[in-house]
Amino acid sequence: MGGKTQSDPRGDFIVNWIALKQWIREVLNEDIGVGDLTTEALVPEDHQSSCLFIAKQDGVIAGLPVAEAVYRELDPKMKWEWLVREGDRVKKGTAIARITGPTRAILTGERVALNLLQRMSGIATMTRQLVDRLEGLSCQVLDTRKTTPGLRQLEKYAVRVGGGTNHRFGLSHGVMIKDNHIAMAGSLAAAIERARKHVGHMVKIEVEADTLEQVEEILKHDVDAILLDNMDLDTLREAVRLIDGRVWTEASGGITPETIRPIAETGVDAVSLGWLTHSVSALDISLDFGEEASR
């Protein structure tokens, strides 16, 4: 897909494009199989079209480079024109991209391209809404590992496009000690000690707490962060007071658009929301041929 320039509409959002290209081949193969029977039967092989991707709702656009990659995989000569930048906020009815090339390829890739573009834009839109609710605060909006299998890279990318911050990409990207781990280790102290010996000083360790007593116990040990889980506002404020900036703090559990700001105002460094990637509605986007688009 070429290197980026300062004016590149993709912006500075990083994706592993090599892995993405391989994944797109698998996704297209899943949908196309031995061929697009309908399109091959009804559309002449040499027919060309020019189509517009149209936002049918207000929202934040994410996934245009992915949709472009889908079509370039089907036909490397496909012409793609950006009409907005990745991460732009758009109004209903906005044309966000134009694609020109073989009609067969356009129709064959339509569903895969739209599925990805709609889902990623839905995540970016909700993330931006949450980030906007925290305006003036230093609290970050985090995603979690509660992602769609196979879509984690793209869903977490969409969170970044929306202004959020990624939590762990996977189990190998940090230590998160929860109650089941502590039970298996025998004690909190044993769990932290064994984890630290296993990963060394370069890897961060976060421990989950759901009571103030657990917070006090965790603070006696060598950890980098505490996950404050399902605490009410008064308990969160007291936990932040006890921690007093000694470790990084994350609030999680039951956070909604209505409660996110009061929770952030307790002084936590971040709030994490699993539903940001597993339950967000897709943004309505269509691919329109138009009266003068085909020939």
Q: List residues with catalytic annotation.
A: 111, 146, 178, 208, 229
Q: Residues of 156-166 as b/e, b for ≥16 C-beta within 10 angstroms? A: bbbbbbbbbeb
Task: State how far the alpha carbon of 267 is from the alpha carbons of 129, 193, 234, 288, in Å.
Answer: 20, 28, 12, 47
CA-based nearest residue to 286, from 62, 115, 68: 115
Amino acid at 156: K
Buried b (16+ CB within 10 A) or exposed e, 9-22: bbeeeebeeeebee
CA distances from 181 to 186, 188, 207 (A): 9, 9, 10
- The long-range contacts involving 242-250, CB below 8 angstroms and separated by at least 24 positions, are 242/212, 242/215, 242/216, 243/215, 243/219, 246/219, 247/219, 247/223, 248/206, 248/224, 249/225, 250/142, 250/206, 250/225, 250/226
Rg (CA), the chain: 23
